[in-house]
Structures are given as C-alpha cells and as structure tokens.
Amino acid sequence: MADQPFPETDSVASPGAATGGGKASFPAQGVPHFSGFNRLGLWTLYMKEVRRFFKVQTQTIWAPAMTTLLYLMIFTVAMGRGGREVLGVSFASFIAPGLIVMGMVNNAFANTSFNFLAGKIQGTIVDYLMPPLSNLELILGLIGAAVTRAVLVGLAIAAAMLLWPGVSLKIAHPWAVVWFGLMGSVMLAVIGLITSVWAEKFDHAAMVTNFLIVPLTMLSGTFYVIDNLNPVFQAVSRANPFFYVISGFRFGFLGQSDIGATNSAVMGGALYVGALTLVLCVALYGLLKSGWKLKS
C-alpha cells in the first residue's frame, strides 16, 4: 500500500474541510486580521510606554519642572520688577499658565518622537509592528502614554510654581484648562509620532524640535500679549496653533487672554485646535496604514 499514490485531495486538507464543507473565511496571507478591540494589548502597550519614561523620571518629569521654574525666575526678575501687571494680573501670574502648558506640549512631543525612531535605529521596530494591535490601538497606546507624561510634567511645574512668590494659579474656567491642556498635548504627541515615522536618525527629530516646535512655542504669546506686536506679526501669531493652546490655557486660569475674555470668544480657538488635532490624527493613521518608512 505504501507504493500506491495518495489522491491529490488527500495530500492537503482543504480549508472548508475543517468547517464541514464550503469556503472558510480566512484572511489573505500577510494581511492582519483583528476580530475585536484588543483591550489587553492596548493596556500593555500603554503601561510599557509609561514605565519607560517613568524609570528615568528625573529626566522626563522633574527636570522639565526645574527648567520651567528657571524661565519663570529669569523673566520675572527681568520684566516683572516694579509691580508690572499684564491683563490685570502680576507678570508672574501672567506667564505661569503659558509656561505650564509649554512644558506639557514639549514633553508630549519628546515622548512620541522617540518611539519609532529608536526602534528603527536599534532594530527593535518589530516590538511595535508585530503584536496583535491595530493601527488605532497603536496610536491610542502611544499617544495615551505621551499625554500621561505631559499631565505629570504639568502638575510638577504647577507645584513648583506655587512655591514662587507672586504666582497665583487660581482656576477661573476649568473646561479651558482641561481642553487646551489635553488637546495641545495630543496635537504635539501626534506631531511627534509623525516625526518618528519620517525621521531616519536622531538629527532629523532634533531638526523638527529646534526649527519648528521651539520657535512656534516661543512665539506663541507665552511671555507677551500679541497686541504689542506689529499688525503683520499679530496676523502671523494668530495663524500659529500654539498661540491658541497657550492663550486658551491662560484663559482657563485668568479668565482673559489674547483671544478673548468670554467663553464664546475662546470657543473658536478651542474648535480650531480640536479640528487641527483631528486632521493630524487622520494623517498619522494613514501613514501607519501605508507602512511608509516602517515596513520594507
């Protein structure tokens, strides 16, 4: 019997045989298939990223608080002498909210701009691409960890500023503090993730930081009101999305800002920041789905 050939149909069982006949609904080879939302995988990725930056919390959380406190010290000494007031409050209270949210968004960007870039350079990119996570779950895990770092940095900066004389952090509009703080952090986290997809070496990420992120944050009205600028530069400032994040966050504390002193006036900036963040998220999802510079 051993020298008799087996029928061709017996050599490999057909997919339908395992299901009692008919065609089986298996995905094509190489095409990922997710049957549901992977909550455990999302949580694991999120905790992995949180633990990564928390292991070096002196560098990722407390150092930004110290650096921002130095900004507050230098500018209040240089500009705040003689009881100078801006928007009806002391100069220290005026710049404090801007410094808090500036530290938050910068650290959100720093957190995600490292993810894929380090993986591509060290050859560990498969740690992100191979687990059974959809593109949406991957985005939620990485951005969620970046926002967590941003919130911790913001709380650390606020706690440090409360020790500085003349600083008041009384909240006038909680919704503005929450919305602009979170949306600004998410927006910069998405930009950082797009940067880590595009960059091929750390110099590329540093270039985005030094020539895009830092200038936009510094020229967003953190240390001044744009009414003091030339009308041309006022128009340029109003085109800067960081301006709305800074001013909206400041409105949450002071009840007034460059974009208005009422909820309805600030709402336009809130919608602009939210819409821009949504557009960036869609662009990021498209990049991950295409596998550009991630999959060979």
| 94 located within any domain | yes
Closest to 280 in 3D by CA, of 292, 272, 270: 272
| 266 located within any domain | yes
| 1 located within any domain | no
Pick the more confident residue, 21 or 180: 180
Is residue 296 packed enough to be buried (19+ CB in 10 Å), middle (13-18) or exposed (0-12)?
exposed
Q: Which amino acid is at 105?
A: V
| 296 located within any domain | no
| 200 located within any domain | yes
Please, what sign has the CA dihedral across residues 48, 50, 52, 54? negative
Pick the more confident residue, 118 or 32: 118
pLDDT digits (tens, 9 = 90+) for 172-225: 999 999 999 999 999 999 999 999 999 999 999 999 999 999 999 888 888 888
pLDDT digits (tens, 9 = 90+) for 239-274: 999 999 999 999 999 999 989 889 998 999 999 999
For the cut 80, the answer to whether the pLDDT of residue 144 exceeds it is yes
| 105 located within any domain | yes
Say if residues 216 and 242 touch (Cβ distance below 8 Å): yes
Q: Please identify which residue in the block is written with the tokens 């990722």.
A: 60
| pLDDT the model gives residue 85 | 83
Say if residues 155 and 245 touch (Cβ distance below 8 Å): no
In the chain, pLDDT over 90 holds for what percent of residues? 59
Residue 155 — very low, low, confident or very high, per pLDDT cuts 50/70/90? Answer: very high
For the cut 90, the answer to whether the pLDDT of residue 88 exceeds it is no
Among the listed ranges 4-8, 65-69, 202-206, which one has the minimum average pLDDT value? 4-8
Is residue 29 packed enough to be buried (19+ CB in 10 Å), middle (13-18) or exposed (0-12)?
exposed
Beta partners for residue 257, in sequence order = 260
Q: Could you give phi then psi for residue 259, rounded to 5 degrees?
A: -100, 5
Residue 76 is part of which domain span?
A: 36-290
* pLDDT mean across residues, the chain: 87
Residue 250 neighbours by CB under 8 Å, 6+ apart? 94, 97, 98, 257
| 84 located within any domain | yes
Q: What is the mean pLDDT of residues 5-14?
A: 43
Question: Which whole-number Å values give the CA distances from 284 to 101, 107, 140, 188, 245, in the listed order?
Answer: 23, 19, 11, 12, 21
Say if residues 72 and 161 touch (Cβ distance below 8 Å): yes
| 2 located within any domain | no
Q: Which amino acid is at 241?
A: P
For the cut 50, the answer to whether the pLDDT of residue 10 exceeds it is no
Residue 166 — very low, low, confident or very high, per pLDDT cuts 50/70/90? Answer: confident
The Cα 133–Cα 2 span in angstroms is: 47
**Residues in the chain, how many?**
296
Q: Could you give phi then psi for residue 149, rounded to 5 degrees?
A: -65, -40
| pLDDT the model gives residue 181 | 97
Q: What is the total count of domains within the chain? A: 1
For the cut 70, the answer to whether the pLDDT of residue 16 exceeds it is no
Q: What is the pTM of this model?
A: 0.85
Say if residues 274 and 176 touch (Cβ distance below 8 Å): no
